[in-house]
C-alpha cells in the first residue's frame, strides 16, 4: 500500500477507508466475504502481467511454463475438492460462467427452464432483460405461496410441457436446501441437461454443509468469492463428456485471456477450502444463520419460508409497513450492512422491494458465533422497530464497532 499511496494518494486513501469500513461494520450481504491474506497476495501478484489465451499445454503465446502449472493446480484442486470429472477455472465470474455453459451446450433459441429472479433465481438464469433471456426461450418456475419452497411439482409439469434442453437450478436468494437429486430425475425424464449454479453455496458444498450437485448435475457453475472465500472469479465443473464443449464455450467462445492472478488465488482458496478448519467454518455459517433467523423470528419479524437451511435469510418487512430499502438504510446507519431484495410474490418494484437479504458468511469468517448472532438480531429488531430513530442507529453503530474490534477481519 506504500507504493500505491506514493503514486496515487487519492485511490490509496479510498481503499484505506474501505478497509476501515469493512473492519468496523457487520457485513451481512450473503454474497460477500473476507478473502484471506494468502488469497489477496496471489490476487495482487505478477501473474496479472501475463496473457495466456488457450489452456495448459495449448497456449497461443510463449512464456507459459509457470502459468500452466498454476492453472493445472487450480483444476486439480477443484476436481478433488468437489469430486468433479472436469473443471474450467477461467470464467471471469459467475455470469460469464453461466453464459459459457449456454454457449457450449445450447443453440440460440433453445429452451431453458429455471427459477425466476423474483423467486430467488439469478439474472443470468434467463431473466428477460439479460442476454440469457433474449437469446433463449425461457420458462421459469417459482416457489410455493404457502411455504416459499421450490415447487418441484411445477418444475416437473413445466419440464414435461416445454421439454427444455437445459434445466437450471440454483439461486441467489433462496434460504432452503435445493433438492439436486429431484432436479436430476426430472431432467433425465424429459431428456434435458441439468445445470446447478452453486455460486452462493459453493463453500457450504465444499465443507459438507449442503448436499452437492456434482454427482447428479451435468454441469455446475459457481463464483469463487462468496462462501468459497476466494478472489472474485468463476469456475465450471462438469462431466467429462461435456469438457470439450464447456472449454470451448469459455475460450474462444466467450472470453480472451484468463486472469492468471485470479486463477492463482482460486487455487489458494481451494487449498484452504480442503482443510478441516474450512469444514468447521462452513458448518458454523449454517449454524449462525439458524441462530440469527430464530432470534429474528422471536422478535416477530417475518422470514421468507419461516427460516433458513443455509447461509441466507430473507426478511419480509412489508407487513410492518416498511420497504426493504428503508430498512437496509436504517441498518447501515447502525453499522449493519445488508441489501434490499425482492421477496416471492412481491408487490413492490425490484429497486424498492419488500425484503432485506442477510447472510452469515463474512461475520463467521471473523470468528463470530451464536452469542454474537443473538446480539445482532436484537440490534436489528430495535432498528427495524423504528427506522427513523437515528439516535438509536448512532448508539448501535458504536456498539457494533466495539464488537467488531474483538473479531479481526481476515485478509485486511
Ligand atoms: N450479486 C450476487 C449476489 O449478491 O447474490 C449474485 O450475482
pLDDT of residue 369: 98
Residue 412 lies in a domain: no
CA of 68 to the centre of ligand 1 (A): 30
- With the most atoms of ligand 1 within 8 angstroms of its CB, the residue from 93, 96, 199, 232 to mutate is 199
Residue 376 lies in a domain: yes
- Which ligand 1 atom sits nearest the alpha carbon of residue 94? 7
Grid coordinates representing 62? 510463449
Q: What is the CATH number of the domain that holds 381?
A: 3.90.1150.10
Q: Taking 90 as the threshold, does the pLDDT of residue 383 lie above it?
A: yes
Give 257-293 pLDDT, tens digit per residue. 999 999 999 999 999 999 999 999 999 999 999 999 9
If you take atom 6 of ligand 1, which residue's CA is the nearest one?
Answer: 172
Give 157-176 pLDDT, tens digit per residue. 999 999 999 999 999 999 99
Residue 21 lies in a domain: no
219 shares its domain with 293? no
CA of 172 to the centre of ligand 1 (A): 6
Give 285-326 pLDDT, tens digit per residue. 999 999 999 999 999 999 999 999 999 999 999 999 999 999
pLDDT of residue 328: 98
- Which ligand 1 atom sits nearest the alpha carbon of residue 95? 7
pLDDT of residue 213: 98
CA of 197 to the centre of ligand 1 (A): 12
From the list 372, 364, 358, 407, the residue with the least C-alpha distance to 277 is: 364
159 shares its domain with 228? yes
From the list 401, 378, 339, the residue with the least C-alpha distance to 22 is: 401
CA of 348 to the centre of ligand 1 (A): 20
CA of 134 to the centre of ligand 1 (A): 20
From the list 68, 65, 122, the residue with the least C-alpha distance to 96 is: 122
Q: Taking 90 as the threshold, does the pLDDT of residue 243 lie above it?
A: yes
Query: b or e along 237-274 (b: 16 or more beta carbons within 10 Å of the residue's beta carbon)?
Result: bbbeebbebbbebbbeebbeebbbbbbbbbbbbbbbbe
Kind plus residue range of the DSSP H or E element containing 391: helix 390-405
269 shares its domain with 285? no
Cα 100 to Cα 164, 168, 187, 255: the distances in Å are: 18, 14, 20, 9
241 shares its domain with 222? yes
Give 78-110 pLDDT, tens digit per residue. 999 999 999 999 999 999 999 999 999 999 999
Look up cell 449454479; give the residue.
197
Q: What percent of the chain has pLDDT over 90?
A: 100
50 shares its domain with 149? yes
140 shares its domain with 253? yes
If you take atom 3 of ligand 1, which residue's CA is the nearest one?
Answer: 31
CA of 2 to the centre of ligand 1 (A): 32
204 shares its domain with 156? yes
Residue 32 lies in a domain: no
313 shares its domain with 380? yes
If you take atom 1 of ligand 1, which residue's CA is the nearest one?
Answer: 31
Residue 5 lies in a domain: no
- Which ligand 1 atom sits nearest the alpha carbon of residue 124? 7
233 shares its domain with 324? no
pLDDT of residue 124: 98
Grid coordinates representing 4? 500505491
Kind plus residue range of the DSSP H or E element containing 341: strand 339-341
Q: What is the CATH number of the domain that holds 144?
A: 3.40.640.10
138 shares its domain with 205? yes
- C-alpha–C-alpha distance, residues 385 and 290, integer Å: 22
- With the most atoms of ligand 1 within 8 angstroms of its CB, the residue from 117, 172, 338, 361 to mutate is 172
Q: How many domains does the chain have?
A: 2
pLDDT of residue 1: 84
- C-alpha–C-alpha distance, residues 183 and 169, integer Å: 7
Could you tell me the residue range of the domain that residue 356 belongs to?
281-405
Grid coordinates representing 268? 489458494
Residue 8 lies in a domain: no
- C-alpha–C-alpha distance, residues 5 and 3, integer Å: 6
Q: Taking 90 as the threshold, does the pLDDT of residue 115 lie above it?
A: yes
Residue 16 lies in a domain: no
- Domain boundary, last residue among 257, 273, 289: 273
- Domain boundary, last residue among 273, 301, 324: 273
Q: Taking 90 as the threshold, does the pLDDT of residue 344 lie above it?
A: yes
Give 47-62 pLDDT, tens digit per residue. 999 999 999 999 999 9
pLDDT of residue 47: 98
300 shares its domain with 376? yes
Pocket of ligand 1 (CB under 6 A): 31, 94, 122, 172
In 10 A of CB 153, how many CB atoms? Answer: 10
From the list 112, 156, 105, the residue with the least C-alpha distance to 133 is: 112
Residue 222 lies in a domain: yes
pLDDT of residue 163: 98
How buried is residue 146: exposed, middle or buried, by Cβ count under 10 Å (0-12/13-18/19+)? exposed
User: In Å, how far from its chain's centre is CA 373?
Assistant: 21
Residues with catalytic function:
51, 53, 197, 223, 226, 232
Residues forming a β-bridge with 137: 111
- Domain boundary, last residue among 243, 273, 303: 273
130 shares its domain with 261? yes
- Which ligand 1 atom sits nearest the alpha carbon of residue 93? 7
- Which ligand 1 atom sits nearest the alpha carbon of residue 172? 5
Q: Is the N-terminal amide bond of 232 cis, ω within 30° of 0?
A: no
Amino acid at each position: 500500500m506504500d507504493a500505491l499511496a506514493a503514486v496515487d494518494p487519492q485511490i490509496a486513501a479510498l481503499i484505506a477507508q474501505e478497509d476501515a469500513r469493512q473492519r468496523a461494520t457487520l457485513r451481512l450481504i450473503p454474497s460477500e466475504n473476507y478473502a484471506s491474506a494468502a488469497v489477496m497476495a496471489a490476487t495482487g501478484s505478477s501473474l496479472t502481467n501475463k496473457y495466456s489465451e488457450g489452456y495448459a499445454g495449448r497456449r497461443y503465446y510463449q512464456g507459459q511454463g509457470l502459468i500452466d502449472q498454476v492453472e493445472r493446480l487450480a483444476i486439480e484442486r477443484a476436481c478433488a475438492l468437489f469430486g468433479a470429472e472436469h473443471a474450467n477455472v477461467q470464467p471471469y465470474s459467475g455470469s460469464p460462467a453461466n453464459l459459457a455453459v449456454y454457449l457450449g451446450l445450447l443453440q440460440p433459441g433453445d429452451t431453458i427452464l429455471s427459477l425466476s429472479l423474483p423467486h430467488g433465481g439469478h439474472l443470468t438464469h434467463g431473466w428477460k432483460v439479460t442476454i440469457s433471456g433474449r437469446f433463449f426461450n425461457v420458462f421459469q418456475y417459482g416457489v410455493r405461496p404457502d411455504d416459499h419452497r421450490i415447487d418441484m411439482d411445477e418444475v416437473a409439469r413445466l419440464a414435461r410441457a416445454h421439454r427444455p434442453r437445459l434445466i437450471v437450478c440454483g439461486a441467489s436468494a433462496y434460504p432452503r436446501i435445493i433438492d439436486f437429486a429431484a432436479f436430476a430425475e426430472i431432467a433425465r425424464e424429459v431428456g434435458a441437461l441439468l445445470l446447478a449454479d452453486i455460486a452462493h453455496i459453493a463453500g457450504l458444498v465444499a465443507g459438507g454443509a449442503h448436499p452437492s450437485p456434482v454427482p447428479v448435475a451435468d454441469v455446475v457453475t459457481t463464483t469463487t468469492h462468496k462462501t468459497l472465500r476466494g478472489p472474485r472469479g468463476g469456475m465450471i465443473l462438469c462431466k467429462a463428456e461435456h469438457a470439450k464443449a464447456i472449454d470451448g464455450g469459455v475460450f474462444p467462445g466467450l472470453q480472451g485471456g484468463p486472469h492468471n492472478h485470479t486463477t492463482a488465488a482460486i487455487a489458494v482458496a481451494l487449498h484452504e477450502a480442503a482443510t478441516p478448519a474450512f469444514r468447521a467454518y462452513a458448518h458454523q455459517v449454517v449454524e449462525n444463520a439458524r441462530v440469527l433467523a430464530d432470534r429474528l423470528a422471536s422478535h416477530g419479524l417475518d422470514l421468507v419460508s419461516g427460516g433458513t437451511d443455509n447461509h441466507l435469510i430473507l426478511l419480509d418487512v412489508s407487513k410492518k409497513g416498511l420497504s426493504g430499502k428503508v430498512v437496509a438504510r436504517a441498518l447501515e446507519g447502525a453499522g449493519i450492512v445488508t441489501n434490499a431484495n425482492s421477496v416471492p410474490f412481491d408487490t413492490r418494484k425490484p429497486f424498492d422491494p419488500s425484503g432485506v437479504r442477510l447472510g452469515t458468511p463474512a461475520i463467521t469468517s471473523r470468528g463470530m458465533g451464536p452469542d454474537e448472532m443473538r446480539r445482532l438480531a436484537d440490534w436489528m429488531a430495535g432498528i427495524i422497530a423504528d427506522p427513523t430513530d437515528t439516535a438509536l442507529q448512532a448508539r448501535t453503530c458504536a456498539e457494533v464497532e466495539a464488537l467488531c474490534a474483538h473479531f479481526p477481519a481476515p485478509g485486511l
